[in-house]
Amino acid sequence: MYKNNIINHNSNGDIMKEKNELLMHIYQTCDMGVKSTTKLIDLLKNKDNKIKKLLEDELKEYEKYLTKSEKLLKKNKVEPEGIGMMAEVMSKMDMKMEVKKDNSDSNIAGILTEGFTMGIINMNKKIDAYRDDCDNSIIELALDIVKFQEKEIKNLKSYL
């Protein structure tokens, strides 16, 4: 899944789960959150959307979690990897088309709610899969991000 994964082998030669998979997922989630939220704020720059303040707050949270994940990656001697140029470009193009088609606060809130919901599901799957293999600090960070995403869904409801 990730280009430079370090695969650990136990004494029997069996491949063990990659301990840094959850941490890399956290990093990629936050990195994409920063990039896509920044792009969305930019697309709404000259528009009269009330949701802009919420987006700016979301960006600050994503930046905070990105910094925390970068520190944990460094501590674990893992090189951060983005999600890939193609996925990033596709995401930006999709967002640009959606905003051009309908830049209403309710449409943007709907799109963000879907994204956060997918993020929560994916993060919970990773937490379940790697809970026994990961440091508590990584699990706690992942759970904090899930709480953040759940809180944002509640905040977005007022725009729907």
Residues, the chain? 160
CA distances from 26 to 20, 22, 53 (A): 10, 6, 24
Give me the pLDDT at residue 92, please: 87
pLDDT at 9 over 80: no
pLDDT at 112 over 90: yes
Q: Which amino acid is at 36?
A: S
Mean per-residue pLDDT for 32-58?
Answer: 96
| Residues 6+ away with beta carbon under 8 Å from 20 | 5, 6, 73, 76, 78
Instruction: Spell out the domains of the chain, with CATH numbers in brackets.
Output: 21-159 (1.20.1260.10)
Three-state SS string across 73-89, please? HHHCCCCCCCCCHHHHH
pLDDT at 1 over 50: no
Other Cβ atoms less than 10 A from the Cβ of 29: the count is 22
pLDDT at 142 over 70: yes
pLDDT at 16 over 80: no
Mean per-residue pLDDT for 32-44?
Answer: 96
Give percent of the chain above pLDDT 70.
88
pLDDT at 76 over 90: no
Contact of 25 with 123, CB cutoff 8 Å:
yes
The alpha carbon torsion through 66, 72, 76, 80 (nearest 10 deg) reads 0
Task: With cut-offs at 50, 70 and 90, classify the pLDDT of residue 8.
Answer: very low
